[in-house]
Amino acid sequence: MPSSYRDIFAVPGARGFSAAGLIGRMPLSMLGIGIVTMISQLTGRYGLAGALSAALAVSAAVLGPQVSRLVDRHGQRRVLRPAMLIAVVSVAGLVLSAQQRWPDWTLFVFAACAGSTPSVGSMVRARWAAVYGGTRELHTAYAFESVVDEVCFIFGPILSIGLSTAWFPEAGPLLAAAFLAAGVWWLTAQRGTEPAPHPRGQHTGGSALRSRPLQVLVATFVAMGAIFGTIDVVTVAFAEDEGHKAMASLVLAVYALGSCLAGAIFGLLHLKSDMALRWLLGVSAMAVSMIPLQLVGSLPLLAVALFVAGLSIAPTMVTTMALVEQHVPRAKLTEGMTWTSTGLAVGVALGSSAAGWAVDAAGPEAGYGVAGVAGVLAAAVAFLGYRRLREPAPQRPGPSAPQARGGAGADGGDDDRDGKRDKGRVA
């Protein structure tokens, strides 16, 4: 492991909460694509499959920030466990209703309730921010978590699609629910690194979304989410059209692998250039990478095009989280991070739904056109909002980051870490 990655785990408990976050985040890449695979196998209706995936994403977009706002006020353990239980029961209901061929509206009810799934990635990043807020190490920690995200996106679809096609259609969503339960329970059992909650009196100024830079990030993430939702749905349909539906999981894994490799390298760099400019370039690169998808005619070419497209994802995500940490008040940090996930969820809903109907109407090749349009929109919003991201960060009285319970705070007394902090901050 490179030294800079090894160094961030010097804090007691960091390995444990990051490992729990890996398990708890697996549903991020498994549940939506698992629903698409399950419904398409049971009914053959890609339109219904995409609509259900969209319903799940919209519900998560509505409920996710509220769950995270409660976490900021009351702590992770008190909020995440009940939210996780509701989500697990809802996934079980969705699987049962699909298996028993209940009316379509029951599928949508359970999909909506499953939107209470906590944003585990935001919870883990909030713990890193409580330890390394405002330091160079936080850049590396966020890069590591982006790599973890991509590991989930590499293996999650393989497990979800593979089990659903080789075993039984409901296997993917059920395994996603099991990962969610295990990951959240393990994460919330680790009290020593849990960020201290902020009582209601500290939450002045309303929602974290009142931050203008955060509004730009969330709006751009809506378009980026449409890219991801489109690629998931259309790739499954494209692979089926080629006669190799099970290969869709491997092709999507290659997409995530490109992002994983780029994120791992990006985390080793200590860049001092303008952070907002780096973010703008990353979004623009994602938009340009959608062009080759319109030209592919086989699964191997599609895999190559998606690998290249994946190279810009993780660096853009890392920079986004750093911008959130820079511009959102500490007492609302978990909520602020979840709003970016919410933007992605809304985009996934729009993209997967539009892609599903495009596939049904004109075939998989037309579906990738949706990703191209989404890329153009993402770049346009990023350019229009670039100046807002260059606004001065809010003044934060007191410690540079919220203290974790048990003393694992940003100023935990480690002289070596303090020395590194004095050398420079992520620019």
What would the DSSP string read from start to end of 35-94? HHHHHHHHH--HHHHHHHHHHHHHHHHHHHHHHHHHHHHH-HHHHHHHHHHHHHHHHHHH
Chain segment 373-393, per-residue pLDDT in tens:
999 999 999 999 888 887 765
The SS3 of residue 168 is coil
Chain segment 134-170, per-residue pLDDT in tens:
677 787 888 888 888 877 877 777 788 788 887 888 8
The structure's pTM equals 0.71
Chain segment 188-222, per-residue pLDDT in tens:
999 888 888 876 654 455 677 778 888 899 999 99
Residue 402's pLDDT band (cuts 50, 70, 90): very low
| The two structure tokens encoding residue 58 | 């919209």
Among the residue ranges 79-93, 101-115, 347-361, 382-396, the one predicted with the least confidence is 382-396
In the chain, the amino acid numbered 294 is Q
pLDDT number for residue 350: 82
Mean pLDDT in residue range 360-379:
86
d(CA 264, CA 255) in angstroms, rounded, equals 15
Which residue did the predictor score with more confidence, 290 or 28? 290
CA dihedral 73→78→84→90, nearest 10 degrees, is: -90
- The number of C-alpha atoms within 13 Å of 231 and in the hemisphere containing its C-beta is 34
| The two structure tokens encoding residue 285 | 């690169």
Mean pLDDT in residue range 253-272:
82
pLDDT number for residue 204: 52
Residue 118's pLDDT band (cuts 50, 70, 90): confident
With 80 as the cut, is the pLDDT of residue 59 above it? Answer: yes
Mean pLDDT in residue range 81-102:
91
- The number of C-alpha atoms within 13 Å of 77 and in the hemisphere containing its C-beta is 12
pLDDT number for residue 60: 83
The SS3 of residue 195 is strand
| The two structure tokens encoding residue 11 | 């804090």
Give the chain's mean pLDDT.
81
pLDDT number for residue 75: 84
Place of tokens 């992002």: 259
**What domains sit in the chain, N to C, each tagged with a CATH number?**
3-192+208-391 (1.20.1250.20)
Residue 321's pLDDT band (cuts 50, 70, 90): confident
pLDDT number for residue 263: 84
CA neighbor of 287 nearest in space, from 382, 197, 357: 382
Contact 321, 271 (CB under 8 A): no
With 80 as the cut, is the pLDDT of residue 269 above it? Answer: no
Neighbours of 294 (CB within 10 A): 13
With 60 as the cut, is the pLDDT of residue 425 above it? Answer: no
The residues, ordered by sequence, that sit 6+ positions from 390 with a Cβ below 8 Å of its Cβ are 274, 276
Could you tell me what percent of the chain has a pLDDT over 90?
23
Place of tokens 């492991």: 1
Chain segment 47-58, per-residue pLDDT in tens:
788 788 778 877
CA neighbor of 248 nearest in space, from 35, 23, 33: 33
Report DSSP state, residue 270.
-
With 70 as the cut, is the pLDDT of residue 1 above it? Answer: no
